[in-house]
Amino acid sequence: MKTRSVILKILMPLVLGAGILYWMYRGEDWQTILHVATDEMDWTWMLLSFPFGILAQMFRGWRWRQTLEPVVQEHPRTSVLLHSIFLSYAASLVIPRVGEFTRCGVLKRYDGVSFPKALGTVVTERAIDSLLVMGITAIVLLLEMSTFGTFFRKTGTNLHSILHGFSWAGYLVVAICAVAILILLHFLLRKLSIYDKVRATLRGIWQGVISLKDVRNIPLFVFFTLGIWVSYFLHYYLTFFCFDFTADLGMGCALVTFIVGSIAVIVPTPNGAGPWHFAVKTMLILYGVADEKALYFVLIVHTVQTLLVVALGIYAWLALNFTNATPHSYL
């Protein structure tokens, strides 16, 4: 039964992501997509976006160090922290959400940091990030409300016509994503029920959750938090200038599609593959990008940025193989 559960956790996200991608790109001319990527795309902007993708993960590592210090009463090496973050993102490409456990395991192995306490600080980070994303979402929706209103007035579109024009396949994708979220919540609740049986683990998680009040430098913590999301956004926004059909869309469109994409990756697929493509492509069409070009954009951008995550994960794995574990990590 346990083996079957593990297999389902691995296969379900892969099948879900692959199914959505197949539905979106069935019948597409892959030679045309390759031509766009190699001949029509300005790779200078893509390369300029890479440092921000790397910096976002580094900011996360530096922020994690702050939340760990008051909990574990130790000082994990910064290099190990950063490598654990790089490796965690790459690991989540195989099994969604496993990255949180991966980075805690790396710190346990190399610096002897308590796994449950480290996991508790991860819970803290996720809660803070979720609140920040919700706040940004509300602000962006208010700022871009006029854009949506103008679009609806000019096109004569209303909610009824949108729902009427939505294909059965579109409804199916939305339904599948909703079911996937429910299944993810089910697994999370099962995990929590396991931790309920282990007092030491629960105590460690609770200490991590309340650790924020003990962070020594709150302004620096806020700076790192904002740095994470500003870097994520710039990593994405600069890719707009890679293509002539997105270069003039503006900051507002970039913010809306960024937020929608960030919410879409909640669906448990490797790096949001499938749901992210569907959500961002839909919003780009709302801003006037042709359906086919929107498909090209989301596929190329997501693929390249995923390859960057893979490269950082390989680098971190190699670096950790040449890193010595501290003596107390064996205890």
Helices (H), the chain: 2-25, 30-35, 43-72, 78-91, 99-111, 115-143, 145-155, 159-165, 168-196, 199-209, 218-237, 250-264, 275-286, 291-321
- Look at phi and psi of residue 158 and say left if phi exceeds 0, alpha if psi is from -120 to 50, else beta: beta
**pLDDT above 70 coverage of the chain, percent:** 73
- Count, residues in the chain: 331
Q: Which residue has the higher pLDDT, 194 or 29?
A: 29
pLDDT (tens digit, 9 = 90+) per residue, 71-96?
A: 766 678 999 999 999 999 999 888 77
In this prediction, residue 8 carries a pLDDT of 59
pLDDT-derived band at 323, boundaries 50, 70, 90: confident
Is residue 25 within 8 Å of 201, Cβ to Cβ? no
pTM of the model: 0.79
Residue 151 CB neighbour total at 10 angstroms: 13
Tell me the DSSP string of 98-142.
THHHHHHHHHHHHH---HHHHHHHHHHHHHHHHHHHHHHHHHHHH
* Angle at which helices 99-111 and 78-91 cross, to 10°: 150
pLDDT, the chain, mean:
80
In this prediction, residue 163 carries a pLDDT of 53
**Per-domain boundaries in the chain:** 30-323
Q: Which of 1-5, 29-33, 151-155 has the highest mean pLDDT?
A: 29-33
